[in-house]
């Protein structure tokens, strides 16, 4: 119930393409869904986040789509760039606590 | 703000030795988290504190691991004795509950290698 599932495990996209990473959860108490970006040798950094009362949030080239009924959310990276090559983690927080549950991560490679 | 500061960045130690990892959270943050990251298990929450008090340590692997937060600006994670299977990257993160965007700020991590 506390798990967040994430797919794909790895993703290769051509420069300029769209990268899509999907996550799913079971716990209906989750109330905040961030995405983190991690470069090698660095800690994860908050990229974008959404609450379940909206279906989409966009920040620049990054968009979260949220489907509350399906308990799924996804990250779309438009016009993907080689500098976007990193590992992406989805996460979820339940409204009873402050800790997050993280997905297993997706390694994105954007080819020049 | 300098962000979450962890030290050391890299630590290589021999099996059986004591290892102490250090973390300075962002000033004003009231939550502090210790995570371990490995290829096999991803990001695992070890323990977290609220206002310097341990709230949940159910992720601490075994009694060899201990964590303290003596004040709002400092926390340690200690492994004694260390074993090769403890080799991982250990992250500290902090957050502020009442923030409009309650995500974590992670440090750069400590890469621990136990030989």
Give the closest-approach CA distance of A32 to chain B in angstroms.
Answer: 8
| A89 vs B: CB within 8 A | yes
Output the pLDDT for position A94. 74
Take residue B30 and report the two structure tokens written for it.
């009231």
Residues A44-98: pLDDT tens digits?
Answer: 999 999 988 899 999 999 999 999 999 999 999 999 999 999 999 999 987 666 7
Q: Which of A38, A44, A54 is the best substitution to test chain B (most B C-beta atoms within 10 A)?
A: A44
- Looking at the complex, report in whole angstroms how far the Cα of residue A27 sits from the nearest Cα belonging to chain B: 18
Token readout for B10 is 């890299």
Find, among B48, B44, B69, the residue nearest to B57 by Cα: B48
Q: How far is A3 from chain B (nearest CA, A)?
A: 12
By the 8 A CB rule, do A95 and A29 touch? Answer: yes
Q: Which residue has the tokens 């993703």?
A: A11
Query: How many interface pairs between A and B have CB atoms less than 8 angstroms apart?
Result: 48
Q: Report chain A residues whose CB lies below 8 A from the CB of B48.
A: 98-99
Q: Measured between beta carbons, which residues in chain B are less than 8 angstroms from residue A97?
A: 56
Tell me: the pLDDT tens digits for B38-96? 988 889 999 999 999 999 898 998 899 999 999 999 999 999 999 999 999 999 999 88
What pLDDT does residue B41 have?
87
Six-digit token string for A17: 């393409």
Residue in chain B lying closest to A94 (CA): B102
Q: How far is CA A39 from CA A29, A85, B64, B88, B92, in A?
A: 30, 8, 30, 16, 16
Give how far B86 is from chain A: nearest CA, Å.
18
Contact present, B25 and B32 (Cβ < 8 Å): yes
Q: Are B33 and B57 in contact (CB under 8 A)?
A: no
What would the pLDDT profile of B14-35 be if each residue is shown by its tens digit?
A: 999 999 999 999 999 999 999 9
Structure tokens at B51: 């206002």
């Amino acid at each position: 119930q506390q798990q967040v599932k994430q797919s794909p495990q790895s993703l290769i996209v051509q420069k300029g393409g769209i990268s899509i990473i999907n996550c799913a959860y079971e716990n209906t108490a989750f109330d905040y869904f961030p995405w983190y970006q991690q470069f090698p040798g660095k800690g994860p950094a908050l990229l974008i986040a959404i609450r379940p009362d909206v279906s989409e949030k966009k920040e620049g080239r990054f968009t979260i789509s949220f489907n509350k009924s399906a308990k799924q959310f996804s990250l779309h990276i438009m016009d993907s760039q080689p500098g976007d090559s990193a590992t992406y983690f989805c996460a979820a927080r339940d409204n009873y606590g402050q800790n997050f549950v993280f997905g297993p991560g997706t390694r994105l490679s954007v080819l020049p | 703000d300098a962000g979450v500061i962890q030290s050391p960045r890299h630590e290589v130690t021999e099996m059986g030795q004591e290892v102490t990892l250090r973390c300075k959270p962002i000033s004003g943050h009231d939550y502090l988290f210790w995570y371990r990251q490995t290829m096999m298990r991803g990001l695992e929450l070890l323990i977290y504190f609220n206002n310097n008090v341990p709230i949940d340590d159910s992720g601490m692997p075994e009694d060899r691991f201990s964590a303290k937060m003596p004040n709002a600006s400092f926390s340690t994670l200690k492994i004694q004795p260390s074993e090769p299977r403890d080799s991982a990257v250990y992250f500290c993160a902090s957050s502020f509950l009442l923030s409009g965007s309650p995500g974590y700020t992670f440090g750069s991590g400590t890469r621990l290698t136990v030989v």
